[in-house]
Amino acid sequence: MDRYCPLPFMHIFNDSTNQYDICCHADTKTKISEQLRNNWNVTRDLPFDFFFSKDMQAIRDKIINNEYVDACRRCYEMDKLNVPSPRKMHLSSHGILKNTGKVEIKLRMFGNYCNLSCYMCHPNHSTGRQNDLKSHGYDLADFGYTVKPERHNKISYEKMENHVLNNLEHIEKIIVLGGEPLQVKRFYEFLDKIPDEHASRVCISVGTNLSKIEFKGHKFEDYIKKFKNLTITVSADHFMEKEEWIRWPKDFNEFEDNLDYIRELFNERSKNKEIDIMVTPTVSVLNVDDLEDIFNFYRTKSIYTGQFSMQYVDYPRHVQPHLHIDAKRIIEKYIGTEFEPIALRMKNKLEQSSNEEMTKERNRLIEYLDRLSSLRGDWKKLWNTI
């Protein structure tokens, strides 16, 4: 079953444009993905209606028959490179499912407000990113913001919230994404409405930049204590000044204090060895040469660092790792290490790129970094070679 994946049997996903898709790894420029996105929208359709739709059942039938699903081609390509793909990761974790059961659901219903502007972030995901790009004179369409997302109004939001709360018995895991959910009132109000009987069973996984851990009287620590199975994935791509530049306008000292404090709260809550806090670097041209130092920094804090399938920037193209001037040296350095999947993807990108294309994208990269430096400080003082 070299094309089988369990996600369509136990996973409900919508992206930051509020369109449903097979999963967060799907190739959106494919026939099946486009069909789902045209037919299903979060502000109009409810998650379990989508999950049990004829469209999704047709995909599950294809997968059971080990047929090619074009939206899954990113995983297929990673499989060919012998790079750990999300498909293989979930297959290892969940095995072969032939029927739908309890699901994990990814929620973006709390909006895309974010207090940071990460230099590699898609504008759909962050209001801070949108504002920053505009302030530098960029057209958001150049960074993939070609479809203005439909956002929840009060009625559609309440309908969605009630739907999720009324189906908690069918949900095994809720993955909360933003924006930055820890800076959104609705996020805390939603958690407050989850009954104790489900708070002790349902796993809540929160993606956060952890730059702030309080919001208008709500303290994140209270929810760590309430939910037995609450875990967090922390978005951090470097440390100290380099992290502040990449995830501007982050205060790294404040972030580090928050990280240490939350780590202690988790230690007090549970003495087991399960992963309850994980730092997940996104690999781009600015940090690809420093992965060993980055991972060691966070691991000295006894925090799990990395992912089964590391996040690798695909867009914007001009910040992809293989554009590093010393890409070949970096590839050689990582072969045979835990970072070999990154090296293999870089090698594949280099082989697929012409000299003309590489020169064009590197010129865009330097122009981009120079322009961002007007607010973030001169990038050349932090990176001597990119």
- Using DSSP's 3-state secondary structure scheme, residue 46 falls into coil
205, β-bridge pairs: 175, 231
- Using DSSP's 3-state secondary structure scheme, residue 214 falls into strand
- What pLDDT, on the 0 to 100 scale, is given for residue 228? 80
Asked whether residue 274 carries a pLDDT value surpassing 90, the answer given is no
Mean pLDDT of 140-154: 79
Res. 267 pLDDT band, cuts 50 70 90:
confident
Q: What is the pLDDT of residues 201-239, one digit of tens each?
A: 899 999 999 999 999 999 999 999 888 889 999 999 999
Q: How far apart, in whole angstroms, are the C-alpha atoms of residue 219 and residue 240?
A: 25
Asked whether residue 354 carries a pLDDT value surpassing 90, the answer given is yes
Q: Sign (positive/negative) of CA torsion 250, 254, 257, 263? A: negative
Mean pLDDT of 156-164: 93
Better-predicted residue by pLDDT, 150 or 361: 361
Q: What is the pLDDT of residues 55-77, one digit of tens each?
A: 999 999 999 999 999 999 999 99
**Which residues touch 130 (CB under 8 Å, ≥6 apart)?**
123, 140, 145
**Which residues touch 111 (CB under 8 Å, ≥6 apart)?**
151, 152, 178, 179, 184, 186
Q: Of 96, 57, 89, nearest to 74 (Cα)?
A: 89
